[in-house]
Amino acid sequence: MAANPRQRYIRWFNEIGIGDVPLVGGKNASLGEMVRELSAQGVKVPNGFAVTAEAYRHFLSEAKLDRKMAEILRGLDTGDIGNLRRRGLQVRQAILAASLPNDLEEEILSAYDRLSEGAPPPLDVAVRSSATAEDLPDASFAGQQETYLNVQGHAALLDACKRCFASLFTDRAISYRVDKGFDHMKIALSIGVQRMVRSDLASSGVMFSIDTETGFKNAVLINAAYGLGENVVQGSVNPDEYTVFKPTLLQGFRPILQKLVGNKEFKLVYDIGGGKMTKNVPVPPDDRVRFALSDDEILTLARWACIIEDHYSEKANHPSAMDMEWAKDGLTGELFVVQARPETVQSQRDRTVMEVYRLKQRGAVLVTGRSVGEKIATGKAHVIKNVAQLHQFNAGEILVTDKTDPDWEPIMKKAAAIITNRGGRTAHAAIVSRELGLPAIVGAEKATEVLKDGQEITVSCAEGETGFVYEGKLPFDVDRIDLKGMGRPRTQVMMNVANPQEAFGLSFIPNDGVGLAREEFIISNYIQIHPMALIDYGQMEDPSVKAEIDRLTATYSDKPQFFVDKLAQGVAMIGAAFYPNDVIVRLSDFKTNEYANLIGGKRYEPAEENPMLGFRGASRYYHPKYRDGFALECRAMKKVRDEMGLTNVKLMVPFCRTVEEGKKVIAEMEKHGLRRGEGGLELYVMCEIPSNVLLADQFAELFDGFSIGSNDLTQLVLGVDRDSSIVAPIFDERNPAVTKMIATVIRAAKAKGRKIGICGQAPSDYPEFARFLVEEGIDSISLNPDAVMKTTLMILETERARAA
């Protein structure tokens, strides 16, 4: 729209940009920037206008509020919650009691009428506060001022504008400014008036162009729930969570790494005919278990997040992770971005020093939820159920509540940790906890019922995406690792990774990739169902097993596809975390007794006297009893590589007893589109049976490399069952018979030009064993994460000694 020269206090979004923060505040400047600069790239932003900061100053001057407000705030003590509340209320009442100047009212209403052109009256708009000091690189001001939705008509708009002005002096905004060193009287407020997106009829949420917990920069995190977006922002519901991998998304792939369904129990909708503008209503049970966005919509939003991040990074001349809000219009089906601001926590972290928190022991689990941060804290629980109890909270306690909002911030900064019943990783409690450096668990559902006042508890966010609240004060360690100046050894140092939830965080440990990613953890924890039970779901006779499968696969009519998607997502999280380094995924290696423990598994598994030497590993993949189950594994791996573009994922066949068996497995994989060499696919074999060593030259004709499994190899060389307490002391990977086997296979692999590494426990436990491997010229050593740094230093020392 063309500028209207008679409007002194109004700027349309297409007239402003990121350089106009002093005039229209951070939120409006960013909206204008996207309208002007990113619309051509497909990013959609609802149209609107800004009421300038000059309008706010004009209002204060005309109503003679300046001196009155300064007098009220003189002697303010934000540490005294009663003092803070009293003064904040007096300032807000003074603003609300004053009248807007006539010329300002006229300009606002004229712009509103112009925005309404072509729409049936009265136009519904969002009225958003936009402070001139917000959205700075080191201060988010998130949620400090108010937003009003579904505002219709002249009178409601003017009232909402005045309430926005007053919200510059909410208790939390006053407290935040004091903490950040901002002068109350030097900050002004602009207002954004924007066409409403009818997400009350669809869905909305928040997204970040960085992983909010670990700072992993290659992921877009999207939260989604039904209805208007305030429920997600405020943490009133537990939303869906989607993770998308940026590098291969930008190459044209569809890398949705993870989809977690939230219970989305309420949605915020228009209050038609009511006294308010909006109201919360329950979501029907069937809709709660469905995802709020389609895959195409998830990918569109993720692409927009990348476009927005790239644009702001170019403007700032440095990488700029972004925090955005989005909404889907239920009338048109269109997606929109309604806010974008710099992310202010992970982007500010010092990456030269790494802190790793580790529990020394676990206790009884009281509640679980979504973890925020990666720390551990202990203390006394203090359950607070409403804002009237805030003054009772003491420093060092663990805050337990239903959800937080910005009014709670003065006590949140006193807490050792925070636990809420509701909310996702982009809720208010999560954002503020990150900013304060506190561990928090959100979406813990019944925390306020289960946890008791004064109860000693431990809050652990150091075990992946699931946060655990344990009974009692448990001991824990904090390792601080200085990464500055550490060299890389010639021998590749890789990691053994089982839990996809930990992968993003582990990727920051200096490494050369993943030498062993186990499928078993993903199948046990994410899938839980025997693959053959999913294939035979239609013939399932046991009602209890069928009910359990129905519960876990509620969003799937195609039950086998559940196995494929969940396995693919688990592997993809690990593959993406370490991209483009190699991630070697070992195909399933459950024993029959372990398979039998999966849901529906007893029907398919024989009872074996010695499962360790029975129907396991390669022998299952081509056998009629499991061949169809293995097909699902192959489909999942093909999805990871072909659909998600994670071609750094290599595959490894475990417990392959004979060369002929290797050929059968390769033929089975080829049936399902996994052909060695095609698309760069490398295929490895575990070296864990004496036959793998003795016939290494023949196995090398079939496979691209070997990974020594020192646990099973030691058992089979020495004839020791390490689970037997009687003979377990004989089990020792350093036994000369074992080391001779390992030295032999390293030489054989080298002679054939094949890669060889080790992924067993021994190098993690014994530094001298790792030295032996380096001296034998092994290509890679894959370690448990907690052993990577100390072993890397030892390898560097060994390599220097050899070179001397």
Comparing CA positions, the residue from 329, 425, 313 lying closest to residue 369 is 425
| Residue 685 · residue 652 · CB < 8 Å | yes
**Dihedral (Cα; 199, 203, 209, 210), 10-degree rounding:** 140
CB < 8 Å & 24+ apart, contacts of 95-101: 95/65, 95/162, 95/165, 95/166, 95/169, 96/162, 96/163, 96/166, 98/59, 98/63, 98/65, 99/63, 100/59, 100/158, 100/161, 100/162, 101/58, 101/59, 101/62, 101/63
Catalytic residue from among 161, 428, 530, 687: 428
Give the whole-angstrom CA distance, residue 346 versus residue 331.
36
Give the whole-angstrom CA distance, residue 523 versus residue 550.
17
In sequence order, what are the beta bridge partners of 341? 323
Active site residue 759: yes
| Residue 227 · residue 199 · CB < 8 Å | yes
Active site residue 687: no
Q: Six-digit token pair at 773? A: 């491997």
| Residue 270 · residue 150 · CB < 8 Å | yes
Catalytic residue from among 164, 306, 656, 759: 759
**Dihedral (Cα; 663, 667, 669, 673), 10-degree rounding:** 140
Q: 644: helix, coil or strand?
A: coil
Contacts of 676 by beta carbon, 8 Å cutoff, 6+ apart: 666, 669, 682, 683, 704
Alpha-carbon Rg for the chain in angstroms: 30
Give the distance from CA 139 to its chain's centroid: 22
Comparing CA positions, the residue from 140, 322, 289, 143 lying closest to residue 221 is 322
277 half-sphere exposure, CB direction, 13 A CA radius: 18
- Sheet containing 189-195, strands listed edge to edge, beginning at the edge strand earlier in sequence: 10-12, 48-51, 189-195, 124-131, 147-152
| Residue 306 · residue 322 · CB < 8 Å | no
Give the whole-angstrom CA distance, residue 334 versus residue 543.
42
Give the whole-angstrom CA distance, residue 237 versus residue 228.
12
| Strand 683-687 versus strand 705-708 pairing type | parallel
**Residue 538 region by backbone torsions, left for phi larger than 0, else alpha for psi between -120 and 50, else beta:** alpha
Active site residues: 428, 759
